[in-house]
A and B are shown apart, each in its own frame.
Chain A
Amino acid sequence: MKGKGAAHAIATCAVMTALLIAVQYALGFVPGVELVTVFLLAFCYVFGAKYGVIVATAFSLLRCFVWGFYPNIIVLYLIYFNAFALLFGLLGGRERPVAVWVCPVLLALLAAGCMAGALIGIPVSVLYRARLSAMLWALFGVLAGLLALYIALWAVGGRRAGQGREAASLAALAALCTVCFTLLDDVLTPLFYGYSFDAAVAYFYAGFFAMLPQTICTVLSVLLLFYPLRKVFAQAAAGKRRGERVRRRARAARKRRGESENASSNDGRTQKDVV
C-alpha cells in the first residue's frame, strides 16, 4: 500500500468501518438481529484478508465510542472479528468455491446440536425453557431447510445453482462462526470477571438466548444478502483495480516513450533536480 494505493486502501477501510458501526448501531435496538456478519463477510470475500483484518481491528476499537469501553468485549471482538476476516478473506482469495462437503457437514453438525439441546433440555429458568426449546427447534428447522436447499441446488447443477450453493456454504460457515463467538464470550467473560464455576455455567446457558436468534439471522442474512453485497463491493474493488490499471498503463506508456519516472520540466530538468 504505497502512494495512491495506500490512500485508497485507507479510504476503503474507513468507509467500511463506518458502515459496520452504522449497521450495528441501526440494528442495536432490535434483539437478535445483526447484519455486521454479512457485511464484513462480503467485504472480506471481495477485498481479501489484509483489508478485512484492518477493518475488523478498526471496527472492534472504534465501536467502543458508541457502545462503551469494556475490556472483555474489546478482546472478544479483536480475536473474533480478526479470525473471521482471515477466514473469509482467504476463502475469497482462493477464487474457487468452498468444498462440496463443507456445507452439509457443518449444517448436519449444527442441526444435530440444536436437536440434542431441544430434546435433552437446557437447564435455564423454568420460565424460559419453552422459549429456548422453540428457538432451538426454529434454528434446527432453518439449518435443515438450508441443507435441503443445498442438496436441491446440487442436484439441479448449473452456474446459478452453483452460486446458490456457495451462498449456502458461506451461510453455514457464518452460522458456525456466530456459535463460536458466543462460546468464546462464554470463556473470556467468566475469566475476566472471575466468575465461579456455577456462575460461568449460568452465563453459558443464558448465552443461548443471544446466540440462537443471531445464528438464525446470520444464516438468513448471508443467504439473501451475500450476493447483492458482493456485487456492490466487487464494483468498488473493480474501481480500485481500474485505477491501478490506468496508472500502470500510463507508466508503461511513459517508459515506451523513453521518459523517466520523474517528468521533465520545461527547461529539461527533472522534478528531482528542481528539488
Chain B
Amino acid sequence: MKHFRTLFAAAAAAVLLCGALFAGCAGGAAGTSDAELLVSDGTRVVVRANAGDGTQSLYSVLEAMQKENKLTFAGSESEYGYYITSVNGVEATDDHYWAVYTTLGTLDGTSYSDAQWGTWEYEGNTLASASYGVSGLPMIEGEYYALVWTAIAA
C-alpha cells in the first residue's frame, strides 16, 4: 500500500508537471502581423500578410477578422492544430471540405506547403496545398493564404 501511495504521488506530480509545461506553451503567440482580407465569400477566403514576423498564426488573424465581422469560421481543435469545418456559414460535407492553400514554401528548414496535394491560382499567384492547418501557418510578409471550398477527389 505504501508503494502504491508512492507510485500515485509520483504519477500525480508528473501529471501536474506536464500540465504546467503544456499550459505554459499553449498560449497564443504575442507577435505582430498586418493582414489584409482580399476576398471573403462562400467558396473562398484570401488573406495577404502585409507585415509579419512569423510569430502569429493564420488562425489568430482569422479570429481577429471574425471579431471585426469581416468573416465567420468554425472548426475544432485536434492534436495537429485547429481544423476548419465551416467558413462564412458554408459547412464541410462528405463531398467538399475547406482546403488551406498558401504561397509560403520552405522557411528555416520547414516546408509549409506541398504542390503535390494541389495548387490554386489567385490573381497570378500559385498557392500550394498547406502542410499545416490554420493554427500552424505563420504570417510572413508578402505571402498569400487562402481557404478554398474544395471537392474531395474520388
Give bound CA distance, A32 to B10, whole Å: 20
The answer to whether B110 touches A125 (Cβ under 8 A) is yes
The answer to whether A209 touches B114 (Cβ under 8 A) is no
The answer to whether A199 touches B79 (Cβ under 8 A) is no
The A94-149 residues at the B interface (CB cut-off 8 A) are: 123-128, 130-131, 133-135, 137-138, 141-142, 145, 149
Interface of A, helix, strand, loop or mixed by DSSP: helix
Q: Between A and B, how many residue pairs show CB distances below 8 Å? A: 102
Q: List, in ascending order, chain A residues with CB within 8 A of B78's CB.
A: 31
A223 at the interface (CB under 8 A from B): yes
The B1-43 residues at the A interface (CB cut-off 8 A) are: 1-4, 6-8, 10-11, 13-15, 17-18, 21-22, 24-26, 29
Given A123-B109, A125-B112, A131-B26: A149 touches B7 (CB 8 Å cut-off)? yes
Complex interface: stretch among B67-75, B119-127, B128-136, B144-152? B128-136
Q: Return A193 CB to nearest CB of chain B, in Å.
A: 10
Q: Return A137 CB to nearest CB of chain B, in Å.
A: 7
Number of chain A residues close to chain B: CB under 8 A: 40
Residue B7 contacts which of A195, A210, A223 (CB distance < 8 angstroms)? A223
The answer to whether B26 touches A209 (Cβ under 8 A) is no
Given contacts A126-B138, A133-B25, 12 further A-B contacts (CB under 8 A): A31-B79, A32-B79, A125-B112, A126-B108, A128-B136, A135-B21, A137-B21, A138-B17, A142-B18, A160-B1, A198-B111, A198-B116
